[in-house]
Each structure stands twice: as structure tokens, then as C-alpha cells.
Amino acid sequence: MIIGENIHKSFGDLEVLKGVDLHVQPQEVVVLVGVSGSGKSTLLRCFNFLEMINEGSITIDGKKVDPKKDNLTKIRAEVGMVFQHFNLFPHKTVLENVIEAPITVKKMNKEKAKKLGLELLEKVGLSDKADVYPSKLSGGQKQRVAIARSLAMEPKVMLFDEPTSALDPELVGEVLQVMKQLAEEGMTMVVVTHEMKFAKEVADRIIMIDQGTIIESADPENFFGNPQHERTRQFIQLVE
Amino acid sequence: MFELFGTVFEVFMRTYPGFLEATVVTLQLTAIGVILGTVIGLVFALMKISGSKILQWIANIYITVIRGTPLIVQIMFLYFGIVEIYTMSNFWAGAIALGVHNGAYIAEIFRGAIQGVDPGQREASMSLGMNRKQTMQRIVFPQALRRSIPPLGNQFIITLKDSSLVYIIGVAEIFSLANREAAQSFQPFESFLVVALYYLVLVMIFTYLLRWYENRLDVDKT
Ligand SMILES: Nc1ncnc2c1ncn2[C@@H]1O[C@H](COP(=O)(O)OP(=O)(O)OP(=O)(O)O)[C@@H](O)[C@H]1O
Ligand SMILES: [Mg+2]
């Protein structure tokens, strides 16, 4: 569904990604882990073309993307992204947040968009909040709206960058629950998270990034039970 | 002390009809100065964030020149530069000078407000497939506008006071009236005290109104 090959990305002299290869199969859930600064966010941002790679290639749904020729706007619409800090639009109501892109980008008519928006809010358990502004929501509710907002564009793959890291502990569960449900419905997902319980339960594959390269890639059982790399062992000790 | 109250009151009673008329002129100058300044400011703010080196350069020159010279010089410059060439009333020369002056400050207000919008907003918008123009129009500008309302209100108050400088080209606003009254009545102290009170009351009224409006804006959305 999404294939990264030999991805290199530098910021000035700092090489953050040093040749990352990652094939994500349709309906697969991949959890990315790694210490702070290892390049997890940068990799996700490259997949969504919020950052441009210096070398290598990205293929989405069988189509190799050429950043020079292709319409990146259209490609971004196919790759949903959920951010650590939600980034809801504060000047729009919850429902307006969700239907903004379908109306502006897909030119969906307003009635149809509203219907879709309410369905998605129902799905994340927030239909009663449709008309309030984001400032009135808890962090967990904000993140669920952000997920609904992404889903409204019917993306082929969803990227999550530490979606629960900014939440109070008691609000983490409700967001992970929604993500788990998405995974069960067959959404292709790449998730950066420190929630190891979620990784064990939901991930098809866990990938460890260290200093800009993938050093471990295994199903949860093997990742935790039989890690190959010393750094992975250290990491597992750290989080458990 | 009591005596002073008496003479101030006497000056006030004698002059208020003229002052009320002059207050209208001051408010007109202020309103035109701010509205014109907002239009000019918007144009230059957009130039500054446009990404075009030439447009940025032009905007920078404008802002640097205006902010680097006194308003009173700008008023005189415009007056002798334009009124002499095109027949234009002193009032309009003064109002345009205030607008041109405000334009530079308001451009900076808008630019700051646009750049002050959380970059995450832009990213979220782009990640949903909105292009640069849609992102600016629908996500960034509405939030920037909201952020610029308090500093714009502040600029309005500054302009209200700055408009007094237009007396130099003989526009009959509040200060020029006080100036004339001071000379004619041989009561300069009382005259300027009265004019100070006029400005103070106006500023307090508008400060109150602006605060009320800002609070109303905040109720739901931030
Ligand atoms: N726009 C940028 N400009 C310069 N350096 C950057 C930029 N974005 C990221 N970096 C640097 O790249 C490195 C990797 O950052 P990245 O955000 O991908 O790490 P991460 O694995 O997501 O870490 P964390 O767990 O802290 O979120 C860091 O050293 C960071 O400082
Ligand atoms: Mg990160």
C-alpha cells in the first residue's frame, strides 16, 4: 500500500533518515518505535510529503510518486495524518472541522458532507459534540475528532504520530480504542507510539528505528520475545 | 485650586459646541486613517509573506521609511507633495497621511498575526489535501484576523491621538481648536487641560468598546 525505498532525508548537515526501506501491505498495521530523535516523525512526514525526501522513492497504492511532476496535494489527500497535538481548526466547530476538506478539496455538496461528517463523528463516539468548538473538548475528544477529520477524506493509509502522547493517562484508552477499531476494519496504518500494550495487541509488525535506519522488524511476539539487535533489547527494557 | 476648577469649567462651557464639531472631525480622521491603513496594511502584509523577493523588498522599503520618519513630517510631505499638485482638501490630505502611516504599522500587525498561527494548522490542512491557497484562505487567514483584532484596536487608539498632528495643516480637529482657543483667550493652561480631557474620555470610551468586543469574540472559539 505504501512503499518507501532507500529513503534519505537531511536537514542541513544533519542526516536524519539514512536509507530506510519500508513496505507496508494493504490492511497492515505497523507500529514504529525508537528513541527520541531517531527519525520516526520525519519518516511519517516524508510519507505524507510534508517533508521532501532527498533520495529514494515512495510508492503509494502502486503509484510511484514523483514530487516534481505529481500533484502532491492530491497525494496528501490519500494519506491521512493524525498529529500529537491534534491540530484541530479552532475557528470551526467539530462538524465543520470534519467536513472542511471534503467540501473544499472534493467539492462535495454540503448536505452530503454533513451526513458523512455525522456518520464519522458517530463512529468515534462524538455525535453529540458536532456543534461545539474544539476548545470545549478534552484532549481525548479532540484526538478522536482529528481521526474523524482524516477519515473524511477516505484515505488509503493513516499515519499516526504519537497520537496519545499529549493526553492525560485516563484519556489514552478512548483514542486507542478508536484506532483499534479502525485496524479491525482493515485500515492500513503506520503508528508511532510508546503504548506497548497497543503495539502487542494491534500491530502486525513492530519496527524499531535507530539513528535513521531500521534495525528491527518483527511481529510483536518475536519483537518482544526474541529481539535481534542489542539496541532493541535496551529499548524494550526501557519501556517495560 | 477651586479657582482653577472654575476657570476650566468656564472654558469648557464656552467651547463645547465647537469641540463637539471638532470631535466629529477627529473621529472621521481616525476612522479613515484606520480603514485606509487596514487596506494598505493587508496589501503589504501579503507582499511580505508572498515569497516573491521583489514584492518583499518593496514592502520592506515602505515599512522602513514610514516607521523611520515622524508622522508630522509625513503629513507635511503629503500635504505639499499632493495637495499642491492635485486639488485636495486639507482634511483628505490629513486623512490619507494617517492612512499611509497606519498602513506600515498594520502591515506588521497582519504579518505577525499570520506568522503567529501555529504551523501545525498549516500542516493539518495540507495533510488533508488542501492546497496552499485553500489553506491560507480557509485556515490561516481567519485565525490571523482574529489575532489581529486586539492590536488593531490598539492602533485605532494610537491613531485617535496621532490625528492631533494634522492640526499642522489646518484641519479643524480637536487639537487645532484648543490651540486657537489657547491663543485667543489667553488661557492656554485651561484650554489644553480641556482638550486633554476630551482625548482621555474618547480613548476610555473606545478602549471599553474594544474590550467588550474582544471578550464577545472569545466566548466560544478559543
Ligand atoms: N524541520 C527540521 N529542521 C531541522 N531539524 C529537524 C527538523 N525536523 C526534525 N529535525 C531533527 O531530526 C531529528 C529527528 O527528528 P524526528 O522528529 O523525526 O524524531 P522522532 O523520532 O520523531 O523523535 P521524538 O520521539 O522526539 O518525536 C532530530 O534530531 C530533530 O531535531
Ligand atoms: Mg516525533
pLDDT score, position B221: 55
What angle (nearest 5°) sits at the alpha carbon of residue A122, between those of residues A120 and A124? 75
- When the pLDDT of each residue in chain B is averaged and rounded to a whole number, the result is 91
Listed by start position, the domains of chain A span 2-88+156-239
Overall residue count recorded for chain A in this entry: 240
- Mean pLDDT for A135-154 is 96
Q: Which residues of B touch A105 (CB under 8 A)?
A: 128-130, 134
Q: Which residues of A touch B128 (CB under 8 A)?
A: 76-77, 100-101, 105, 149-150, 153
User: Ligand 1: which of A13, A20, A33, A38 to mutate, judged by most atoms within 8 Å of the beta carbon?
Assistant: A38
Please give the grid coordinates belonging to residue A48. Answer: 505524507
Q: Which residues of A touch B131 (CB under 8 A)?
A: 73
pLDDT score, position B47: 95
pLDDT score, position B15: 84
Q: In this structure, which ligand is nearest to the CA of B119?
A: 1
Distance A120 CA to ligand 1 centre (A): 32
Q: Tens digits of per-residue pLDDT, A149-162?
A: 999 999 999 999 99
- pTM for the whole structure: 0.87
- pLDDT of residue B219 exceeding 60: no
Q: Tens digits of per-residue pLDDT, A85-114?
A: 999 999 999 999 999 999 999 999 999 999
Q: Are strands A63-64 and A55-60 parallel, antiparallel or unpaired?
A: antiparallel
Q: Are strands A63-64 and A79-82 parallel, antiparallel or unpaired?
A: unpaired
Q: Are strands A213-218 and A55-60 parallel, antiparallel or unpaired?
A: unpaired
Atom of ligand 1 nearest to the CA of A39: 18
Q: Tell which wins on pLDDT, B88 or B120.
A: B120
Spatial distance between the Cα atoms of A65 and A63, rounded to a whole number of angstroms? 6
Listed by start position, the domains of chain B span 1-217
Q: Are A91 and B142 within 8 A, CB to CB?
A: yes
- Mean pLDDT for B99-111 is 97
Q: Which residues of B touch A48 (CB under 8 A)?
A: 127
For residue B46, CA distances in Å to A80, B39, B42, B59, B109 come to 30, 11, 6, 9, 12
Distance B191 CA to ligand 1 centre (A): 65
Give me the interface pTM, i.e. the ipTM: 0.92
Q: What is the CATH number of domain A2-88+156-239?
A: 3.40.50.300
Q: Element (H or E) spanning A230, and its range?
A: helix A230-239
Q: Which CATH class is domain B1-217?
A: mainly alpha
Q: Are B134 and A104 within 8 A, CB to CB?
A: yes
8 A C-beta contact, residue B104 and residue B66 = yes
Atom of ligand 1 nearest to the CA of A35: 25
φ/ψ (deg, to 5) at B171: -85, 135
Which of A49, A60, A70, A87 to mutate to probe the B interface, most B CBs <10 Å?
A: A87
Spatial distance between the Cα atoms of B205 and A64, rounded to a whole number of angstroms? 63
